[in-house]
Structure 1
Amino acid sequence: MIELNFTPDSEPQLLDRAEAVAGWTLGELADALGIAVPDNLLRHKGWSGQLLERYLGASAGSKPHPDFEQLGIELKTIPVDLQGKPLETTFVSVCPLTNLGGLRWEESPVCHKLRAILWIPILGERQIPVAQRTLGMPLLWRPSPQEWQALQQDWEEIMERVALGEVESITARHGEVLQLRPKAANSRVLTDGIGPDGSPIQTLPRGFYLKIPFTHALLQRHFHNN
């Protein structure tokens, strides 16, 4: 029987809770929590993460803090194929596009959310029905000094370009491990930004994402060493 209204008091307790459902399908976990499973995730993007948040007792909600605030740990579900390769990039945080004066890496939501991540792989190939997708063993990850340096460098270079009014020319190819991409339900959703001459413009909201080679490498290192 699954304990409802669970709140983790420590890292080991959180990890134990995540490991307890490794091998379960999303359907089995949803049934245990009394939650309906959508037919597909096209209109329910983020549903898998919300399901795990509820089961694991995440507290931050939509606030710009790690999901488990007291522990300083972010939760990330990551769909993978049969070989363990991530099927998509991983969203980290919305990118601020105005009022950038004095913004530093150490104070950014990206920095806060990447200090510690509980990764939960999900066998999520498109042909597998949502309810039958299987949860993998969790991984509690903290960036190595080299990873941290690469993340900070990408963030600083991208934010410098945003501040210089170059947001419209930044593509997903910029950045070694971190990329900036539009994040909006459709092209009609616009927000304020900085234009090339420093004047205000209307542009698509942007978000920071971890690139697939980066997340693939960290999953491989962990699971091949265990």
Structure 2
Amino acid sequence: MKKSLHSPNSIEELMLRAESMAGLTLGQLANFHEIQIPKDLKRHKGWVGQLIELELGALAGSKPEQDFAHLGIELKTIPVSALGKVLETTYVTVAPLTNIQGLTWEESVVCHKLQQILWIPVQGDRDIPLSLRQIGSPILWRPSAEESAQLKQDWEEIMEFISMGQVDKVTARHGEVLQLRPKAANSQVLTDSIGRDGKLTQTNPRGFYLKTQFTQRILSQLL
């Protein structure tokens, strides 16, 4: 595998690099970096994102900070259909299930990661072989005051359930734009969380995701 390119020194440099990717296929990019292309994404769910991170010089990896922390930008690939329809929810970060007393929206990892996002649309139709899927034009997005308020309200409502030991009551239907879902390879994976009596109990890890209606709106406004 080739080493990743240096991380961009400015937003302008990042956008130029992202724009130069537009129109390329995942296969072309993978060949350039000498990376093997999986047959499908069933067992390689994060492969597309990792390939784009490599090309753009993202630094964060799995750390709880923005991919381009020095530029204040998070990177998100987003699978879209031939008609521009967003095909799946967007993972943001792992949800904290313990030690959350006094945590505010402004201090949260979710808020930090959603300050500014570079969206990279990628063809996601399953009938297109992975190697032939094209990369779309990049979109740099900051939430509006209204979008920020929606995200904050959803986060606070979900975190209230967690703090009261009722994380198991939260379903993917909660939240207008942000949702909480299990985030683990399987249901056998457990982690500590606050129980109903305030003591620690065990539950499946959870993650925050942006709902498709929300990301569809972002793409439709900016494409």
Q: Report the secondary structure of 1:92's partner residue.
A: strand
Shift of 1:197: 2.3
Counterpart residue type for residue 146 of structure 2? Q
State how 1:32-111 maps to structure 2 within 5 Å.
Answer: 32-111=32-111
Alignment match, 1:112: 112
Q: Report the secondary structure of 1:75's partner residue.
A: strand
The farther-off stretch of 137-146 and 122-131 is 122-131
| Structure 1: tracts of 5 or more residues without a match | none
**Overall identity of the aligned pairs, in %:** 60
Structure 1 residue ranges (4+ consecutive) displaced by more than 4 angstroms after TM superposition: none
User: How far apart, CA to CA, are the structure 2 residues paired with 1:204 and 1:188?
Assistant: 8
Shift of 1:195: 1.7
Alignment match, 1:10: 10
Alignment match, 1:191: 191
Alignment match, 2:217: 217
Q: Report the secondary structure of 2:99's partner residue.
A: coil
1:120-177 per-position Cα deviation (integer Å, ceiling 9, x unaligned): 0001111111111110000000000000010011001100110011100100000000
The farther-off stretch of 189-198 and 152-161 is 189-198
Alignment match, 2:137: 137
Kindly indicate whether the alpha-carbon contact (under 8 Å) linking 1:6 and 1:55 is maintained by their aligned counterparts in 2. Answer: no
The alignment's TM-score, normalised by the length of structure 1, stands at 0.96
Shift of 1:60: 1.1
Counterpart residue type for residue 206 of structure 1? R
CA-atom RMSD, angstroms? 1.3
Counterpart residue type for residue 16 of structure 1? L
Shift of 1:62: 1.3
Shift of 1:4: 5.2
Q: Report the secondary structure of 1:87's partner residue.
A: coil
Q: Are residues 163 and 30 of structure 1, via their aligned partners in 2, closer, same or farther at CA, if it must alter by over 3 Å? A: same
Q: Report the secondary structure of 2:66's partner residue.
A: coil
User: How far apart, CA to CA, are the structure 1 residues paired with 2:110 and 2:11?
Assistant: 21
State how 1:24-35 maps to structure 2 within 5 Å.
Answer: 24-35=24-35
1:61-92 per-position Cα deviation (integer Å, ceiling 9, x unaligned): 11110001100100000000111111000000
| Structure 2: tracts of 5 or more residues without a match | none
